[in-house]
């Protein structure tokens, strides 16, 4: 039983005791007063009538009877009786009606017993008889009943008014307690909220303690996230430049080549600094480190403008730049070369030959080994061109791309004609059970044409501001599938969609039409999109959670310290990016990182899923690190 009900029962019980006590005291007091008044009336009337009878000049029976009858008819009497000294009745008048003036049960519970009036009638010095007068009690009962009804009505009205006022006061008093209950419920849902401390001292201490606990939990999560992020940087980043190291870059490259939603093509640049040993001899080790940092800064600034581009330091003198969706590699290479030449000529003016750059075009599905060999060949060609030479290999470049208008027409027509479908890939637990199906959108170019994978058209849809329209269609297709098939489905939302408030309204309206399916719908946003639009994601997450959808973040693990800001959202799951999962069985550092990440997430009740699992060795190790489920080629076999 809730505390609110217990308080109300206590208040009602106390009120009932007070009510019954007050009612009884009032009725009994009124009855005693009426009995006293009737007794006085009986005595007074008996004395007055006895005096009148005693003063009769002739005491004949007829005169006495007439006087008694006149007295009986003039007042409200139950009985008037005159008896002689031998107790023989001389005159007697009685009320023969049965009217009480109140219900019989009321008269039985509260009987009125008034003292009879008794007086002596004299005939000179001789006693004529004894006169007994009893007033009728029906009017007393009527007055007592009427007063009881008025008292009952007033007490009921007062009780109702007090109940309304008490309810309002009770709600105000227990509101902080309700908020504490909500806070505890939020903690169980992995959301950390703080409350304003109430004025009530008893509740103030409770709320303060809960707020302190929430603050400690948030601090623990943030500290652990910061520690893991620091560990990630130590493992996957170069200590001097802060760029991803060779192992991390190879994982990024492999992901770009195999993931279905990756760009269909892009550019790979290799930058090699010339004669680091000579620079070290001339300027010293500190100057070499500074030079490396400046090169890294140039590449980092470029990647900041193009967030999908990734720069890394491969070894002592080699840097790499992965540029998805970049087919104008000569233009990109020239821009990088110009920046490097300007910086290095200023830092090391005594040398003419500072660097060489080799660039190649890659396509999704290329072999990593062959791609790196081609990049090395392009770098060798650049070195043969002389100081600060560069070379971009464009053989086999992609066909001429569609124009913007052609892409717009293709996308809008495909959406209008419903030439969209979902492909599904399983997400399975270590026991082999399917946690959910991960959906990926496909688009048909014409009615009889080929189907494009997400990476082929999503970038253009984003550029043309059609992402939210596509995402809405994906949700609709997922709901249609849930109606006809068992299991759960996960759907990805783009950054533009979560920032589109119109999309929020349309999505809410669509989900409200089919609330039973929401429990089986998992909705996820990339880590980059979440941190780019944190407030928009927070808003849509609250909306989806209220509809009982599962909410998660995919491609997670690269910005753990920033991700800690969203610890109060009550996320249901995290999908760790495949670049951290790939070859984890051979990378002890990433094993420690992922194990700590899983432990931190499980503390908050978050389900951990590994993306892009390629090999059986990875698949076997991941549950030992704490992952609840996995997805990728090794899982889909």
Alpha helices in 57-132 (DSSP H): 61-74, 104-109
Q: What is the mean pLDDT of the chain?
A: 85
Residue 626, C-beta contacts closer than 8 angstroms, at least 6 positions apart:
594, 595, 598, 599, 602, 608
Q: Looking at the structure, do residues 458 and 341 belong to the same domain, yes or no?
A: no
Residue 428's beta-bridge partner residues? Answer: 434, 630
Instruction: Report whether 207 contacts 176 (CB < 8 A).
Output: yes
Which residues neighbour 173 within 8 Å (Cβ) at sequence distance 6 or greater?
200
Contact status, residue 384 vs residue 357, Cβ threshold 8 Å: no
Does residue 187 carry a pLDDT above 80? no
- Which stretch of 59-73, 185-199, 202-216 has the lowest confidence by average pLDDT? 185-199
The answer to whether residues 576 and 438 belong to one domain is yes
Q: What CATH number should be reported for the domain holding residue 417? A: 3.20.20.450
Q: Are 92 and 121 in contact (CB under 8 A)?
A: no
Query: How big is the CA angle at 558 (ends 557 and 560), to the nearest 5 degrees?
Result: 65
Same domain, 479 and 627: yes
pLDDT for position 509: 93
Decide if 239 is inside a domain: no
Identify whether residues 437 and 316 lie together within a single domain. Answer: no
pTM as predicted: 0.69
Q: Which tokens in the block code for residue 502?
A: 């119109």
Same domain for 475 and 342:
no
pLDDT digits (tens, 9 = 90+) for 23-67: 888 888 888 888 888 888 888 888 888 888 888 877 778 888 888
| CA angle 527–319–311, rounded 5-degree value | 15
On whether both 306 and 422 belong to a single domain, the answer is no
Q: Could you read off the pLDDT of 215-239 as tens digits, one per residue?
A: 777 777 778 888 888 888 888 899 8
- Of the candidates 219, 220, 228, 223, which has an alpha carbon nearest to the alpha carbon of residue 625? 228
Q: How far is CA 577 from CA 134, 555, 556, in A?
A: 103, 4, 5
Residues 128 and 277 in one domain: no
E strand or H helix at 46: helix 3-54
Range of the domain at 351: 265-393
* 22 and 119 fall within a common domain: yes
Q: Which of 125, 141, 159 is the last residue of a domain?
A: 159
Quick one: average pLDDT of 626-633? 94
pLDDT tens string 64-117 = 888 888 888 777 777 888 888 888 888 888 887 766 678 888 888 888 888 888
Domain limit, last residue, from 361, 393, 425: 393
Under the banding of pLDDT at 50, 70 and 90, the label for residue 350 is low
Domain of 275, CATH number, reads: 3.30.70.270
Q: Are 510 and 547 in contact (CB under 8 A)?
A: no
Whether residue 596 sits in one domain with residue 495: yes
* Most confident listed range (45-49, 169-173, 450-454, 629-633): 629-633
Instruction: Please indicate, yes or no, whether residues 388 and 509 belong to a single structural domain of this protein.
Output: no
Q: Write down which residue in 159, 189, 211 finishes a domain.
A: 159
The model's pLDDT over 357-383, given as tens digits with 9 standing for 90+, comes to 999 999 888 888 889 988 998 888 888
Structural domains counted in the chain: 3
CA atoms of 256 and 536, how far apart (whole Å): 28
Tell me what pLDDT residue 400 has: 47
- Calculate the alpha carbon distances from 245 to 233, 248, 250, 321, 598 in Å: 9, 5, 9, 12, 23
User: Residue 234 domain-assigned?
Assistant: no
Torsion of the alpha carbons at 561, 566, 568 and 569, rounded to the nearest 10: -150
Q: Are strands 629-630 and 420-429 parallel, antiparallel or unpaired?
A: antiparallel
- Structural domain contains residue 67: yes
Is 214 part of any domain?
Answer: no
């Amino acid at each position: 039983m809730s505390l609110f009900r217990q308080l109300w029962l206590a208040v009602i019980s106390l009120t009932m005791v007070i009510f019954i006590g007050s009612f009884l005291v009032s009725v009994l007091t009124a009855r005693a007063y009426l009995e006293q008044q009737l007794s006085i009336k009986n005595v007074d009337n008996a004395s007055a009538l006895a005096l009148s009878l005693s003063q009769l000049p002739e005491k004949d029976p007829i005169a006495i009877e007439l006087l008694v009858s006149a007295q009986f008819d003039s007042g409200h009497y139950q009985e008037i009786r005159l008896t002689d000294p031998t107790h023989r009745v001389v005159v007697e008048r009685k009320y023969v009606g049965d009217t009480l003036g109140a219900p019989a049960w009321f008269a039985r519970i509260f009987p009125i017993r008034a003292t009879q009036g008794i007086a002596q009638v004299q005939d000179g010095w001789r006693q004529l008889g004894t006169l007994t007068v009893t007033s009728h009690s029906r009017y007393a009962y009527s007055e007592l009943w009427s007063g009881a009804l008025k008292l009952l009505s007033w007490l009921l009205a007062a009780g109702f008014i007090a109940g309304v006022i008490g309810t309002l006061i009770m709600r105000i008093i227990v509101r902080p307690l309700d908020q504490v209950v909500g806070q505890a419920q939020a903690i169980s849902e992995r959301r950390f909220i703080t409350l304003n401390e109430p004025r009530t001292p008893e509740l103030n201490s409770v709320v303060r303690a809960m707020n302190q606990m929430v603050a400690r939990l948030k601090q623990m999560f943030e500290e652990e996230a910061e520690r893991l992020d620091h560990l990630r940087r130590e493992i996957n980043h170069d200590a001097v430049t802060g760029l991803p190291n060779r192992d991390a870059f190879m994982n990024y490259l492999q992901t770009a080549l195999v993931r279905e939603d990756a760009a269909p093509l892009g550019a790979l640049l290799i930058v090699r600094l010339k004669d680091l040993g000579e620079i070290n001899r001339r300027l010293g080790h500190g100057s070499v480190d500074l030079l490396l940092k400046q090169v890294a800064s140039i590449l980092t600034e470029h990647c900041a403008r193009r967030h999908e581009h990734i720069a890394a330091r491969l070894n002592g003198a080699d840097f790499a730049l992965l540029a998805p969706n970049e087919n104008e590699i000569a233009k990109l290479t020239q821009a990088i070369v110009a920046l490097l030449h300007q910086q290095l000529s200023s830092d090391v003016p005594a040398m003419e030959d500072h660097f060489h750059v080799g660039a190649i075009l890659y396509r999704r599905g290329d072999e990593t080994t062959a791609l790196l060999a081609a990049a090395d060949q392009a770098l060798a060609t650049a070195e043969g061109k002389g100081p600060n030479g560069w070379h971009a290999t464009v053989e086999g470049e992609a066909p001429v791309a569609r124009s913007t208008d052609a892409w717009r027409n293709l996308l809008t027509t495909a959406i209008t004609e419903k030439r969209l479908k979902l492909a599904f890939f399983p997400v399975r637990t270590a026991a082999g059970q399917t946690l959910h199906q991960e959906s990926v959108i496909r688009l048909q170019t014409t009615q009889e044409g080929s189907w494009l994978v997400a990476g082929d058209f999503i970038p253009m849809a984003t550029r043309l501001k059609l992402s939210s329209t596509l995402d809405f269609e994906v949700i609709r297709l997922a709901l249609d599938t849930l109606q006809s098939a068992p299991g759960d489905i996960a759907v990805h939302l783009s950054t533009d969609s979560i920032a589109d408030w119109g999309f929020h309204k349309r999505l809410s309206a669509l989900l409200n039409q089919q609330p039973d399916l929401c429990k089986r719908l998992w909705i996820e946003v990339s880590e980059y999109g979440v941190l780019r639009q944190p407030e928009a994601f927070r808003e849509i997450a609250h909306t989806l959670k209220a509809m009982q959808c599962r909410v998660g973040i995919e491609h997670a693990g690269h910005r753990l310290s920033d991700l800690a800001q969203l610890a109060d959202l009550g996320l249901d799951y995290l999908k760790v990016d495949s670049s951290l999962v790939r070859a984890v069985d051979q990378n002890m550092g990433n094993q420690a990182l992922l194990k700590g990440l899983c432990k931190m997430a499980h503390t908050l009740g978050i389900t951990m899923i590994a993306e892009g699992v390629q090999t059986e060795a990875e698949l076997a190790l991941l549950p030992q690190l704490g992952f609840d489920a996995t997805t990728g080629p090794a899982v889909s076999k």
